[in-house]
Amino acid sequence: MQKIRHESVAPTRTQHLPSGGEIDAHRHDGHQIIYASRGTIAITTDAGSWVAPATRALWVPAGTVHQHQAHGELDLHLVGLPAAENPLNLATPAVLAVSPLLRELIVAYTQTPQDDGPARRRLRTVMLDQLKAAPEQPLHLPVPTVPLLQDLHDILRADPADNRPLDELGRQLGASSRTLSRHLRTDLGLTYPQWRTQIRLHHALVLLANDTPVTVVALRCGWSSPSTFISVFRRTFGHTPGAPPTT
């Protein structure tokens, strides 16, 4: 059984992680904001996984057991908050949009974690105000609990470009497409196209973080053309896959 590290305080600090680097499963007594100003960060819990490029931050509530993985070279900024202070009123992990202003506030705040002067306290107040206004993004990839969906999940994660229709995949799994669709609605609250798109977008973020060309990413993730992939990506993240984060 994996030992879960417990930290009484969620740390505030900056940290570098090499591509492929991990932080093992742990939990904090306080909340934590996780932001990668470079690279793409993924966190995994028992409920699923969340992936955030440099235009997004992750919210991890107090007590949540989670582990980190770096995709691409990672400049990580961690902001710890007391359990009694929840500016987002969120009890589960979430991905948040990061405006250019919020990006600079998080970076500046985490560079001097030992400073408790008036200027830094004012910086913290503005940062928390900006966090309250940060819209939540639907980028959670839930882990199915139904065995049939777990098998389907394994197929799609192994090859996101698998474009077989659900009835054909169902024949491989010994279930009808109607049964699989019903399980998807009740277990994950998603349709099959929605779920498959989430899986593909998560995989695309990982590939992009490792400098894979956009055309190759589109092909490996199952989109019919680079333009279709770019359109879906822009609709989801607010920018094209080749664009650098706004600074």
Spell out the domain ranges in the chain. 5-140, 144-237
Q: How high is the pLDDT of residue 102?
A: 94
Q: How high is the pLDDT of residue 228?
A: 95
Q: What is the CATH number of domain 5-140?
A: 2.60.120.280
**Contacts for 120 with CB less than 8 Å, ≥ 6 apart:** 109, 112
Give ∠ CA 90-37-60 in degrees, rounded to 5.
Answer: 20
Q: How high is the pLDDT of residue 211?
A: 83
Dist. CA 86–CA 234, nearest whole Å: 30
**Of 163, 7, 14, nearest to 77 (Cα)?**
14
Dist. CA 72–CA 74, nearest whole Å: 6
Can you list the alpha helix ranges (DSSP code H) found in 17-77? none
Q: At what angle do helices 118-132 and 100-111 cross, to 10 degrees?
A: 140
pLDDT in tens, the chain (247 residues): 457 888 777 889 999 999 889 989 999 999 999 999 988 899 998 888 888 888 889 999 999 999 999 988 899 999 999 999 888 888 889 989 899 999 999 999 999 888 888 999 999 999 999 998 888 776 778 889 999 999 999 999 999 999 999 999 999 999 999 999 999 999 999 999 999 999 999 899 888 888 899 999 999 999 999 999 999 998 887 778 866 444 3
Asked whether the beta carbons of 241 and 230 are under 8 A apart, the reply is: yes
Q: What is the phi/psi pair of residue 189, to 5°?
A: 70, 25
Beta-carbon count within 10 A of 130 CB: 18
**Contacts for 25 with CB less than 8 Å, ≥ 6 apart:** 2, 4, 5, 65, 66, 67
State the chain's maximal CA–CA distance in angstroms: 64
Q: Do domains 5-140 and 144-237 have the same CATH topology?
A: no
Whose tokens are 């799609």? That residue is 156
Q: 232-242: b or e for each residue (b if 16 or more CB lie within 10 Å)?
A: bbeebbeeebe
Q: How high is the pLDDT of residue 243?
A: 60
Q: Looking at domain 144-237, which of 3.40.980.10, 1.10.10.60, 1.10.3720.10, 3.30.460.80 is its CATH number?
A: 1.10.10.60
Q: Which amino acid is at 130?
A: Q
